[in-house]
Amino acid sequence: MRKLAIVTGGARGIGRGCATALVKKGLDIAIVDMLSPEMARTKAELEALGARVEVFEADVSDFARAGEVVAGVMAAFGRIDVLVNNAGRGNPAGILEITEESYDRTIAVNLKSCFNYIHHAAPHMLAGGGGRIVSMSSLNAHSGGVTSAVSKFSYAAAKAGIIGMTRALAKELGPTIAINAICPGVIETELGNSLTKARGPELMKGIALGRLGTPQDVGELVCFLATVEPNFITGQNFIIDGFQWVC
Ligand SMILES: NC(=O)c1ccc[n+]([C@@H]2O[C@H](COP(=O)([O-])OP(=O)(O)OC[C@H]3O[C@@H](n4cnc5c(N)ncnc54)[C@H](O)[C@@H]3O)[C@@H](O)[C@H]2O)c1
């Protein structure tokens, strides 16, 4: 029986990299995203690799919609083995100019979204006897970002929240479910590109491996945490940044 992974924000970028790596390991995929044309394109790409793929249009910050999506996934596939909480977005506003609405939106899309999908998916994973959850934090959770970053304190706060949530839920959901967080440095995607366009050459000089990351780099790490057997890893956060010392 093929396993099933939900990948939020799977239409493009890092999410598409995660979905591709999981498909190559033999998993079927449920993509949750707001970008319909990109979702359709990614679905076709993944199907060409041999997977069954269903797409669910949803804003991940919407708790009730998360419940509907998870119910839809169970109706379609009958199981949830892996949840990748990847959807997220930056916020360039500093503390003195940010509005309350903008702050709330950053926390909702990056952090509450993880709660929304874990809350609805975990009961099915527990009933199924096991599961893996991987949530996308950021190097910013550790570094705080920099003044020129596309993502400032509200993003760093949300991403640091994911690390705390991951540690606490590893205790609550273990030993049946393993849950970990990933902290990417600069990855070449639509989101990452807005930062690299401005500071690309300077950034690359400060990365030990001499290049920016790719969605495939992150996808392979997510896939490892989602599928490795036997598994003795939970409650951790993994920095994947080529060792970047200029943040
Ligand atoms: N690219 C980087 O350098 C980098 C670094 C560290 C962490 N991250 C994190 O990795 C994750 C993926 O980023 P990316 O670079 O691939 O970004 P991206 O913008 O290329 O892709 C993000 C995907 O998430 C979807 N999404 C965004 N908000 C959503 C919402 N409210 N509901 C449903 N879907 C939504 C988008 O439609 C898009 O398909 C994010 O959580 C981001 O914060 C990225």
> What are the pLDDT digits (tens) for 208-224?
999 999 999 999 999 99
CA of 16 to the centre of ligand 1 (A): 10
Instruction: Specify the pLDDT at position 78.
Output: 98
Nearest CA residue ID for atom 40, ligand 1: 88
Instruction: Specify the pLDDT at position 135.
Output: 99
**Two tokens at 170?**
């590893």
Instruction: Specify the pLDDT at position 235.
Output: 99
CA of 209 to the centre of ligand 1 (A): 23
Give the residue from 211, 205, 212, 217 showing the smallest Cα distance to 245: 205
Which helix (H) or strand (E) element contains residue 129? none
Nearest CA residue ID for atom 36, ligand 1: 9
Nearest CA residue ID for atom 34, ligand 1: 33
The catalytic residues are 155
Instruction: Specify the pLDDT at position 161.
Output: 98
Q: What is the pLDDT of residues 9-21, one digit of tens each?
A: 999 999 999 999 9
Amino acid at 134: V
| Residue 247 confidence (pLDDT) above 70 | no
- Mean pLDDT computed over 38-52: 98
- Output the CA torsion sign for 146, 168, 227, 114: negative
Phi, psi of 104 (to 5 degrees): -60, -40
One CATH from 3.40.50.300, 3.40.50.1400, 3.50.50.60, 3.40.50.720 for 4-240: 3.40.50.720
Ligand 1 pocket: which of 45, 89, 204 to mutate (most atoms within 8 A of CB):
89
For the chain, domain boundaries: 4-240
Q: Which residue has the higher pLDDT, 40 or 196?
A: 40
Average pLDDT score, the chain: 95
Q: What is the pLDDT of residues 189-206, one digit of tens each?
A: 876 676 666 677 778 888
Neighbours of 81 (CB within 10 A): 24
From the CA of 159, give the closest atom in ligand 1: 43
Give the position of tokens 């994973």.
125
How far is CA 177 from its chain centroid? 17
pLDDT band, residue 148 (cuts 50/70/90): low
Tell me if 231 sits within 8 A of 190, measured CB to CB: no
Q: Report the pocket of ligand 1 as residue ranges, CB < 6 Å.
A: 9, 11-15, 33-35, 38, 59-61, 86-89, 109, 136, 138, 184, 186-187, 189-192
Instruction: Specify the pLDDT at position 191.
Output: 65
Q: What is the pLDDT of residues 105-139, one digit of tens each?
A: 999 999 999 999 999 999 999 999 999 999 999 99
CA of 91 to the centre of ligand 1 (A): 12
CA of 56 to the centre of ligand 1 (A): 16
Instruction: Specify the pLDDT at position 150.
Output: 75
Tell me the whole-structure pTM to 2 decimals. 0.97
| Residue 141 confidence (pLDDT) above 80 | yes
| Residue 36 confidence (pLDDT) above 70 | yes
